[in-house]
Structure formats: structure tokens, C-alpha cells
Amino acid sequence: MKKEKKKYILVANWKMYLSYYESISFCTVNRPTLTAIAQKHTLIFLPSFIALNAVANVLQETDSFYGAQNCSAFDSGAYTGDISASMLAEIGCSYCLVAHSERRRYYQETDEQIIHKLHLLIKAGIIPVFCIGEPKQEQDYRKIKDSLKKQLALFTAIPPQQHLLIAYEPNWAIGKGNEIFNDTYLNHLIKITKLINTCLSRFPNAKILYGGSIDELSIKQLLSINTFDGFLIGRASTTFSVFETIIKAL
């Protein structure tokens, strides 16, 4: 009997790479291919806020999803420049990133703000794509474990039936590209997925993604250990030919 192909979750985090028109063009030009991919995998696009509505329009009836890269830690009110989780829900966002290391690093986001965002997203019916990762490259697995356990503790008050995407993104691997993982690190990855599964065992609807320098080369290494439900792809998701090569490797 033919073995069923695994259905992966693919989150394209476009960060601030693609402009408004580039985002529309990416979806318009590649619409037929994206429709075909969305039959095999769960495809989620995270464009900039200003491109969300336009991307949503082009993606209609492609079976792909869209979401935001951030939301406010407040519900509503006098918070100039902020966009709330409920506003995102209003325009049909299904997903939103939380706790991305770039937000922690450049905007000093705190655990307290992250917990607020997490709860507001859940209240708005948006699935959080929650990022965790050790701040610096560690050889010692115990240090990685301690750091991840601390971050996963932020889920304490979340109801167990909640759908969650947990994106394990080691901070040192984000945005580098051409990352070749050594065997020690690949072994760490196997242990890390087990650890996340154990820490989140009360959430049957949690899925684990890997993120950080995914490209045509690293995807093969990640697939060789076969422990992830999907991938969070930054830079490589902004060039369609590269994104498609990654997907073809699945």
C-alpha cells in the first residue's frame, strides 16, 4: 500500500521584507501553485499589517490561511499605533505570531506583555503561533532545556483544548541563512521536540514547528529527523522559487 504523505504546517513569516504591492503580486502570480500546495499542506501567510486585507482577497478560495506578525498587548483604547487581536479577527486572521525573538530583542517585549497577547488572541479566536528558543548557541542541552521550560511555563492558564502552534526558533539561527546543522544540534532537536511535547502534554491540539534559517539545504536535514509538524519560514518564504523548492522537498 502507498504510504500517505505527511501533511505539514507551513508558516510564511514575511517580516518587513515584502512591500504591499510585492505581497499582492506574490499571491496573485503564484495563486494556482499556492492552491495546489494548500491541498497537500496547511499554508499560512503572515504579511505586514497593511497588506493583510489585500492578501486575504487574493487568497480567497485557495484554501490557504493568513495571519499577523504581531498584535497589541491591550484590548482597545488609547494605544497609538497598536492593532488589537479583535481587529485582526474582524478581518479574518486565523493566526498570529507571539513572542518572536525579534520583538523581544528590538522592542524589549516582556513575558508579561506576551501573556496578555496570548490571552487576547485566544479570546479573539485566533490561533497563536508561539515562538520559543534559546537566546544563544548552547552545546549543553541542559541549558537549552532550562531556557525552553521557562518560556513554556507561560501557558499555565491556557485552556487545554486550545489550538496552538509552538515554533521552536533558536535565536542564533534566525535570519542567518546557509545554516548547516551539525549532528550534535540535530540530536538536540530530537530531544527538544520531546521536551515540548512533554511540557505541553495537556494540549492535545498543540503542534510543533521549527523555524530559523530554513532554506533548500537545511530543510533536508530537518526532514531527516522527522520530528516537526511543520516549519516557520522567514526570508526563504519571500522568494517564490525558493519557497517552492522547500515545499517540494517535503
Binding-site ranges for ligand PGA (CB under 6 A): 13, 169, 174-175, 211-214, 232-236
To the nearest whole angstrom, how small is the minimum distance from the Cβ of residue 238 to ligand PGA? 9
With H, G, I as helix, E, B as strand and everything else as coil, classify residue 104: helix
HSE-CB for 89 with a 13 A CA cutoff: 14
Q: Whole-angstrom Cα distance, residue 166 to residue 183?
A: 23
Residue 143 corresponds to which cell in the numbers above? Answer: 541549558
Taking each helix axis as running N to C, give the angle between helix 218-225 and helix 183-199, from 0 to 180 degrees, rounded to the nearest 10: 50
CB atoms under 10 Å from CB of 14, counted, come to 22
To the nearest whole angstrom, how small is the minimum distance from the Cβ of residue 23 to ligand PGA? 16
Q: Whole-angstrom Cα distance, residue 226 to residue 69?
A: 26
β-strand partners of 210: 168, 231
Query: Which CB, 47 or 212, lies closer to ligand PGA?
Result: 212
To the nearest whole angstrom, how small is the minimum distance from the Cβ of residue 2 to ligand PGA? 32
- In Å, what is the CA distance from 157 to each residue of 26, 95, 128, 203? 39, 20, 14, 12
Q: Which residue number is nearest to ligand PGA in terms of Cβ? A: 234
Residues taking part in catalysis: 100, 169
Query: Which CB, 13 or 62, lies closer to ligand PGA?
Result: 13
Query: Which CB, 207 or 235, lies closer to ligand PGA?
Result: 235
To the nearest whole angstrom, how small is the minimum distance from the Cβ of residue 100 to ligand PGA? 6
Query: Which CB, 116 or 235, lies closer to ligand PGA?
Result: 235
To the nearest whole angstrom, how small is the minimum distance from the Cβ of residue 131 to ligand PGA? 7
HSE-CB for 128 with a 13 A CA cutoff: 26
Residues 199 and 152: beta-carbon distance below 8 Å: yes
Query: Which CB, 67 or 212, lies closer to ligand PGA?
Result: 212
> What is the secondary structure of 177-219 as a DSSP string?
-S----HHHHHHHHHHHHHHHHHTTT-TTEEEEEESS--TTHH
To the nearest whole angstrom, how small is the minimum distance from the Cβ of residue 147 to ligand PGA? 17
For residue 168, the 8-state DSSP code is E
Query: Which CB, 37 or 99, lies closer to ligand PGA?
Result: 99
